[in-house]
Structure 1
Amino acid sequence: MILDDFLVFDDHGLYCRYGDFYLDPQQPVQHAVISHAHADHAVAGNRQVYCTPATARFMQLRYSKNAGGQFHLYKWHQSFTIGAVKIFFIPAGHILGSAQVVMHYEGITYLYTGDYKLQPDSTCEPIEWIKADVLITESTFGNPAIKHPDPVEEIKKLKEIESNILLGAYGLGKAQRLIKLISEYAPNKKVLVHHRIAPINTIYEQLGYAVGNYQMYNRKLMKTQDEYVYLVPPFTFDSYLRATGVKRIFASGWKNLQVNQQDTLFISDHADWDNILYTVEQVSPKQIWTLHGDGSHLKSYFDNQLTVKALN
């Protein structure tokens, strides 16, 4: 029997009382199962952390000694148990090391996707599918009006821009994907990276994922020709609000983060509406639980077919 209270939100985040653990808690807890290393899913200070090796590396880089008390690292499909719940990880395709969390309890399988994407990305493990009774899916872009364009066609836009480019992107995951895409599909552009992005690239490379061609930012280089793309994290991008002599572009799936109408770069690391529907088809759940977004469109779409409820 599916338990309606298998996962509930409390002051610390998404809690499983049957295993006494949290999924991607928002505040430090005793037992934290972490899907991936983005800061909105992986906070510092948890006492027992369960995650993939790549996620641990990124958390330790970001938080240093405060990353967590003890890390328990698991390869794909390697089972472990917390309380009475059997758990294993499968790839989510979001960033390197990002995991979906498969949970078995009393004959029922619950699948927590974390953040995930279906678009091809050679800088991380491709998403994997498994059948589950309950699909707990992010619905960041769970709207029929949102359909992500082909990232290759998006990146090719950069080839036609005849000026240096200040390219804003999240430093973990999105930046490495962009470097690889630019190297392959806009090779006339030379990528410079911010000093905060370089250590993340190093971890990717140490784990066997080449991110493409890049070099460290040097102010003098940007003054010599019009073929450079300076890749920076959001806080640096915002500080260059009045930068001259460069074209400012921010890579995101969100329209409100596009900084000008002439040069948009819609590249998202999340599932869009069609991708979510395809995920439901692959997982074949009896129920869908949504979070991280508006689940009302899914509820309407599956009316009288599947139970859909919002956790947040």
Structure 2
Amino acid sequence: MILDDFLSFNANGLYCSYGDFYLDPKQPVTNAIISHAHADHAIASNTSVYATEATIAFMQLRYGKLAGKVLYTAAYYASFNVGGVDITFIPAGHMPGSAQILMEYKGIRYLYTGDYKLQPDATCEPMEFVKADVLITESTFAEPNTSHPDPVEEIKKLNDIKINILLGAYALGKSQRLIRMINDYAPQKKILVHHRIMPINAIYEKMGFALGKHQIYGRKLMKTQEEWVYIVPPFTFDSYIRAVGVKRLFASGWKNLQVNTQDTLFISDHADWNDIIKTVEQTQPQQIWTLHGEGRHLKEHFKNDIFVKLLN
């Protein structure tokens, strides 16, 4: 029997009282199971942290000793038990180490997706489907009119820009995907990287994800017009608002960050509407619980077939 209260929100985040643990808690807790290393899912100062090797490596880079008092590393598909609930990490395709969290309790399988994507990405493990009784899916872009464009076609836009480019992107996940894609689909470009991004790149390489040619930024290099692409985090991108002699572009899948088709690379690391529908088809759940976005469209879409509950 599916337990309607298997997961619930409290002041610390999404809580499983049956196993006494949190999924991607918002405040420090005793037992934290972390889906991936982005800061809105992986905070500092939890007591016990359960995550994949890559997720823990990124957390240690960001937080140092505050990554967690006790760190438990689990490989994909290697089940472990927390408070009587069997846990298994399944690749989510969002970034290196990102995991769907499969929870099995009294014969029922609850699958928390975390953030995930189905688009091909050479810089992380591909998303994999598993069957579950309850699919707890992110619904960041769960709108029928939302369809992410082909990221390859987006990156190929750089080929038509003959001056130097200042390319804004999140430091963890997006920047590395861009480096690899530029090397693959705009190989004549020469890539410069902000110094804060380089240590993250080193973890990617250590984890076996080759990014291709790039080098740390040098001021003198950008003074020459050699089709440089300088990848910077958002705070640096914003500080260069008056930069001259360069094309300013921002890479994002978020609507509120889309400037226009000329000044934006629309590259998302999340599932769009069709991806979510495909995930439901492959997972074959009896129920869908939605998180991190708007779930009402899924509720309407599946109203005659699958029970949909909006957790937030």
TM-score, structure 2 normalization: 0.99
Match of 2:285 in 1: 285
| Contact 1:51 1:73 (C-alpha < 8 Å) held by counterparts | yes
CA distance, structure 1, for counterparts of residue 127 and residue 74 of structure 2: 17
1:206-285 to structure 2, matched below 5 A, reads 206-285=206-285
Match of 2:139 in 1: 139
- Whichever residue aligns with residue 27 of structure 1, its letter is Q
CA distance, structure 2, for counterparts of residue 301 and residue 249 of structure 1: 36
- Whichever residue aligns with residue 103 of structure 1, its letter is M
Match of 2:118 in 1: 118
Deviation at 1:226, TM superposition (A): 4.1
Label 1:207 to 1:261 Cα distance change in 2 as closer, same or farther (>3 A): closer
Deviation at 1:261, TM superposition (A): 4.1
Deviation at 1:97, TM superposition (A): 0.4
**Between the two proteins, what is the percent identity of the paired residues?**
70
Match of 2:63 in 1: 63
CA distance, structure 1, for counterparts of residue 8 and residue 293 of structure 2: 16
Match of 1:304 in 2: 304
CA distance, structure 2, for counterparts of residue 255 and residue 155 of structure 1: 18
Match of 1:75 in 2: 75
Match of 1:21 in 2: 21
CA distance, structure 2, for counterparts of residue 78 and residue 273 of structure 1: 30
| Contact 2:250 2:263 (C-alpha < 8 Å) held by counterparts | no
1:86-105 to structure 2, matched below 5 A, reads 86-105=86-105
Aligned CA-pair RMSD: 0.8
Deviation at 1:225, TM superposition (A): 1.3
Match of 1:189 in 2: 189
- Whichever residue aligns with residue 91 of structure 1, its letter is P
- Whichever residue aligns with residue 295 of structure 1, its letter is G
Deviation at 1:256, TM superposition (A): 2.3
Deviation at 1:244, TM superposition (A): 1.4
- Whichever residue aligns with residue 101 of structure 1, its letter is I
Deviation at 1:208, TM superposition (A): 1.0
- Whichever residue aligns with residue 288 of structure 1, its letter is I
Match of 1:8 in 2: 8
Match of 2:151 in 1: 151
| Contact 2:190 2:226 (C-alpha < 8 Å) held by counterparts | no
CA distance, structure 2, for counterparts of residue 238 and residue 19 of structure 1: 43
Deviation at 1:224, TM superposition (A): 1.0
CA distance, structure 1, for counterparts of residue 204 and residue 29 of structure 2: 28
Q: Classify the secondary structure of the residue corresponding to 2:266.
A: coil
CA deviation map 1:200-255 (0-9, x unaligned): 00001011110111000001001111401100111111111121111111111123
1:163-202 to structure 2, matched below 5 A, reads 163-202=163-202
CA deviation map 1:29-56 (0-9, x unaligned): 0000000000000000000000000000
Deviation at 1:260, TM superposition (A): 4.1
- Whichever residue aligns with residue 263 of structure 2, its letter is D
Q: Classify the secondary structure of the residue corresponding to 2:153.
A: helix
Can you give the 5+ residue segments of structure 2 that lack an aligned partner in the other structure?
none
CA deviation map 1:161-208 (0-9, x unaligned): 121111111111111110000001001111100011100000010111
| Contact 1:120 1:126 (C-alpha < 8 Å) held by counterparts | yes
CA distance, structure 2, for counterparts of residue 309 and residue 213 of structure 1: 46
CA deviation map 1:238-293 (0-9, x unaligned): 11112111111111112321234423210000000000000000000000000000
Can you give the 5+ residue segments of structure 1 that lack an aligned partner in the other structure?
none
Q: Classify the secondary structure of the residue corresponding to 1:65.
A: helix
TM-score, structure 1 normalization: 0.99
CA distance, structure 2, for counterparts of residue 250 and residue 268 of structure 1: 12
